[in-house]
Amino acid sequence: MAITVSIELSRDFEISAAYGDVFELLADVPRSAGYFPKVDKLVDLGDNAYRWEMEKIGVDKHAIQSVYACTYSADRDAGTIFWKPVKGEGNGVVQGEWSIQANGDNATTLKFKTSAELTLPLPGLLKLAISPVIKHEFNSLVDTYVANLKKAF
C-alpha cells in the first residue's frame, strides 16, 4: 500500500545582495542545493536535470526517503528559474519556480513557489496522521533553506 501527500508552499523574502550574485547562485543547481538541508545525494542526470535523494527518515525497514528529479531552466533577463518533474524518477513529483527581482543596487526580492506530490510506502490508514507531519517537515526544510541562503549573503 502507498499514500500520496500533496504539498504546496511559497515564500517571499529579500536578500541583501546584488541581483546578479543571487541569480547566479540559484541558477547553479548543485551550488544552490548545498544550502538545502537533509540532501543525501544530488545526482546530475544531464541536460540540467538533477535527481534529489533526501536523507532517510525513520529506522530500518520503517525508514522512508523522498526521491525526485527535476529539469531546470533559468532566464536571467526575466528573473525566473523554473523546475519541472522528470517522469519515472523516484517517488516524488516536484515543480516550482523562483522569481527574482533587483531591489536597488544591493538588495534582491525573491519569490519561491513549489508543489510536490510524494508517494510513500505506508498503509492508507496512516494518511491522516502522517500527512501533517510530512507537510511540516517539508516547510521546515524550505525555511532552513531560505535562512541558509540569507546567511550566504
Q: Is a pLDDT exceeding 70 seen at residue 112?
A: yes
pTM above 0.95, yes or no: no
For the chain, the structural domain boundaries read 3-152
Q: How many Å apart are CA 85 and CA 67, to the nearest integer?
A: 11
pLDDT at position 51 is: 98
- What percent of the chain clears pLDDT 90, i.e. is strictly above it? 79
**Cα–Cα distance, 95 to 85 (Å, whole number):** 6
CATH fit for domain 3-152, picks 3.10.310.30, 3.30.530.20, 2.40.100.10, 3.40.50.300: 3.30.530.20
- Confidence check: pLDDT of 1 > 90: no
Query: Does pLDDT of 23 surpass 80?
Result: yes
